[in-house]
Amino acid sequence: MMSKARNILLGLPLGFAALASAALAHHSSSMYDRTKPVTLEAKVVEFQWVNPHAQLAVVETQAPKGAEPKTWSVELTSPGVLTRNGWTKRTFNPGDRVTLKFAPLRNGEPGGYFLEATLADGKVMTYTLEQ
């Protein structure tokens, strides 16, 4: 019985280490290029207020000449962090016009990580993870 309890106690730090590394891997932002932020005029298609990360889908309204407008999917932080920064699930609504700044995906797909948005009334939406 003692050896079984000892094995469990010895195994706990390894288990916690495995969980911690999984959590760190989940929060990697290496897929985004923060050195080349993109700013675009867009119309909100959908704002998903979901865990673990809220998502904002927008269609660019000022596509380059001769190009079709793209639908972009932009990842944000969790609804809990957004709430602590004064956001609500109605911060963005379908049809809203926004100026969106984000770190694009490195692979060139139309997506990225949210940096800030300017709403039609001029209000700038940002957040900080430290609250």
Of 10 and 36, the one with more pLDDT: 36
Q: How confident is the model at residue 7 (pLDDT cuts 50, 70, 90)?
A: low
CB atoms within 10 A of CB 57: 18
Per the document, the length of the chain is: 131
Summarize pLDDT for 13-69 with one digit per residue, the tens. Answer: 544 444 344 444 456 779 999 999 999 999 999 999 999 999 999 999 988 888 899
The pLDDT score that the predictor gives to residue 15 is: 46
- Residues 91 and 94: their CA atoms lie apart, in Å, by 10
Residues 6+ apart with CB under 8 A from 49: 79, 82, 89
> Tens digits of per-residue pLDDT, 69-118?
999 999 999 999 999 999 999 999 999 999 999 999 999 999 999 999 99
For residue 10, pLDDT beyond 50: no
**Confidence (pLDDT) at 13:** 52
Model's pTM, two decimal places? Answer: 0.76
